[in-house]
């Protein structure tokens, strides 16, 4: 009898549902930066008790998507330091990750999802459809990440996916920004089609750096606003001159 018995499918725990709802709202820009989020009001709006709301808010805070502001939480404004930190991590891990998928991606049938996502991004850019463009770039990223054999490496990369979605939401309405991103994805796709890991890695590094500079410009920030020296030029407190 045990062979015909199937586990009972359980719905997501209430705390997980509240977390997912708030996380999606932050990613999609439905909750503005600085807007206070309080347990009582959120619980009333969502029709739940305060406990799952409290758990969700603390979890989102631990992930850096919210910050505590006295008795409430808020979505923090993206500062230049935030963007530099995110892109520094991307520069460390993504070129290394894509180097190892180049051989697989040289096969047309394996590369098909990448090519289709790139074609969709190109169409959306020409049509001026920012939402479709965002969706296509997300699919492109998911397609090459699916080829990375190291799940721990993928987990590290995905930790900053929500922050990247916020940045894209704020900037990809801009034609020039989309153009820069599209050119970068095109160079990466071409390198993968050749099966050249080093070329793919170099294309990813160039793409990340150009996107970082363009995003900073699109958000109206300036390098002089950073609270720390430029990346690669930091000096340890105990270092001698």
80-224 carries CATH number 1.10.357.10:
no
Task: Quote the tokens at residue 37.
Answer: 């989020």
pLDDT on residue 229: 43
Render the burial of 193-225: b for 16+ CB within 10 Å, e for the rest: bebbbebbbbbbbebbeebbebbbebbebeeee
CA 142 – CA 136 distance, rounded (Å): 10
Q: What is the pTM of this model?
A: 0.73
CA 85 – CA 231 distance, rounded (Å): 9
pLDDT on residue 234: 41
3-class state of residue 13 by DSSP: coil
Hey, which bits of 184-238 come out as E strands? Answer: none
Task: Quote the tokens at residue 157.
Answer: 């990369």
DSSP state letter for 75: B
pLDDT on residue 27: 78
CA 185 – CA 86 distance, rounded (Å): 19
pLDDT on residue 1: 42
Helix axis angle, 161-171 to 130-145, nearest 10°: 150
| Angle at the Cα of 136 from the Cα atoms of 132 and 140, rounded to 5 degrees | 175
DSSP-assigned beta bridge partners for residue 33: 75
Delimiting residues of CATH 1.10.10.10 domain(s) in the chain = 14-74
pLDDT on residue 92: 94
The CA-atom distances, in angstroms, between 77 and each of 64, 83, 110, 164, 166 are: 11, 11, 39, 14, 10
| Architecture (CATH level 2) of domain 14-74 | Orthogonal Bundle (1.10)
Instruction: For the chain, 241 residues long, give each residue's pLDDT as a single digit of tens.
Output: 444 555 544 456 888 999 889 988 887 778 878 888 999 999 999 999 999 999 999 999 988 889 888 788 998 887 888 889 989 999 999 999 999 999 899 999 999 999 999 999 999 999 999 999 999 999 999 999 999 999 999 998 888 777 777 777 778 888 988 999 999 999 999 999 999 999 999 999 999 999 899 888 877 876 555 554 444 444 333 444 3
3-class state of residue 82 by DSSP: helix
pLDDT on residue 237: 38
DSSP state letter for 38: -
Delimiting residues of CATH 1.20.120.530 domain(s) in the chain = 80-224
- DSSP track, 94-153: HHHHHHTTHHHHTSHHHHHHHHHHHHHHHHHHHHT-HHHHHHHHHHHHHHHHTT-S-HHH
């Amino acid at each position: 009898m045990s062979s015909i018995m199937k586990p009972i499918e359980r719905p997501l725990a209430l705390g997980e549902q509240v977390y997912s709802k708030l996380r999606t709202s932050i990613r999609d820009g439905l909750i503005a930066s600085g807007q206070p989020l309080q347990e009582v009001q959120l619980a009333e709006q969502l029709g739940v008790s305060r406990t799952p709301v409290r758990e969700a808010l603390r979890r989102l805070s631990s992930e850096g998507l919210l910050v505590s502001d006295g008795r409430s939480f808020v979505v923090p404004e993206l500062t230049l330091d935030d963007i530099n930190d995110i892109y520094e991590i991307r520069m460390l891990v993504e070129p290394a990750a894509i180097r190892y998928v180049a051989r697989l991606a040289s096969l047309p049938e394996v590369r098909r999802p990448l090519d289709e996502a790139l074609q969709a991004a190109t169409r959306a850019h020409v049509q001026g459809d920012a939402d479709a463009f965002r969706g296509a770039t997300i699919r492109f990223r998911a397609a090459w990440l699916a080829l990375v054999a190291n799940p721990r490496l993928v987990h590290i990369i995905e930790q900053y996916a929500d922050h990247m979605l916020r940045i894209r939401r704020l900037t990809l309405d801009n034609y020039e920004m989309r153009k820069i991103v599209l050119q970068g994805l095109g160079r990466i796709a071409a390198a993968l089609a050749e099966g050249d890991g080093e070329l793919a890695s170099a294309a990813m590094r160039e793409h990340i750096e150009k996107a970082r500079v363009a995003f900073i410009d699109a958000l109206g920030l300036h390098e002089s606003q950073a609270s720390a020296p430029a990346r690669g030029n930091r000096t340890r407190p105990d270092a001698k001159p």
